[in-house]
Structure 1
Amino acid sequence: MQTPLQIRISWPAGHLTATLDDTPTAQSLAQALPLVSTARTWGEEVYFDTGLSVSRETDARQVVEPGTVAFWADGDALALPYGPTPISQGEECRLASPCNVLGRIDGDPGLLATVRGGDPVRVELVDA
């Protein structure tokens, strides 16, 4: 059995790790790491360009749990929701369009609230 892939996401005010599932998109992301991008925010979601272009998977979802690591195929971006977005109904995390689900943030996804639009973001593999 393969060791789960872990990534570290860092920005000026903090960092967190996430565990990725074994999906085609997660594998593509892992091969592209490390990457540095610029954070953008949309409601209680942080997203940033990855330079990766992948297709939407058949199980892509638009409404996800807080702390889901998602890939927005329409924007070639990693999407990290931690609360409601401008199109959410109630407290749900509703993404801009269906996204590939890659895994989950380890610990408190609320830490993402310290990310500011324009912050540099670095994503790298955590050495096993």
Structure 2
Amino acid sequence: MQTPTSLQIRISWPSGHLTASLDDSPTTQALTNALPLVSTARTWGKEVYFDTGVSVSRETGAREVVEPGTVAFWTDGDALALPYGPTPISRGDECRLASPCNVLGRLEGDPGLLATVRDGDPVRVELLDA
């Protein structure tokens, strides 16, 4: 049995950074082919998202409600979405994305660090060497 390969990326902003492990998927491959990338952070409730310039289709396992720290790809906005708590459309404490997103993997460490990202901050995403 083959173990799925896990790629690691670093997401950096002026006041911090997080590492994420991504599962092998068509969306992950499209994203990693575009790295490194620099974008502008947007915030929506307790979610940080930013444009990637990558356009992919919604995958069959796309989900709207995810765990804090999920790395999701918002196909409607060509953006990475990083929820760490409730958004304006959440019910209770759930992380509800704007629409179903492709789930790419998970952040390592405390997703609450994303609270230090300010709307308009520059964000850099790069591949970490295995």
Within 2, Cα distance between the matches of 1:67 and 1:26?
16
Residue pairs, 1:18-33, within 5 angstroms: 18-33=20-35
SS in structure 2 of the partner of residue 53 of structure 1: coil
Q: Give the % identical residues.
A: 84
Other-structure match for 1:126: 128
Within 2, Cα distance between the matches of 1:34 and 1:96?
25
TM-score, L = length of structure 1 = 0.98
The change in CA–CA distance for 1:8 and 1:90 in structure 2 (over 3 A counts) is same
CA RMSD of aligned residues (A): 0.9
Deviation at 1:127, TM superposition (A): 1.1
Deviation at 1:3, TM superposition (A): 4.4
Does 2:75 correspond to 1:43?
Answer: no
Aligned residues: 128
Other-structure match for 2:14: 12
Residue pairs, 1:1-128, within 5 angstroms: 3-128=5-130
Deviation per CA, 1:75-117, whole angstroms, max 9, x where unpaired? 0000000000000000000000000000000010000000000
TM-score, L = length of structure 2 = 0.96
User: Which amino acid is 1:106 matched to?
Assistant: E
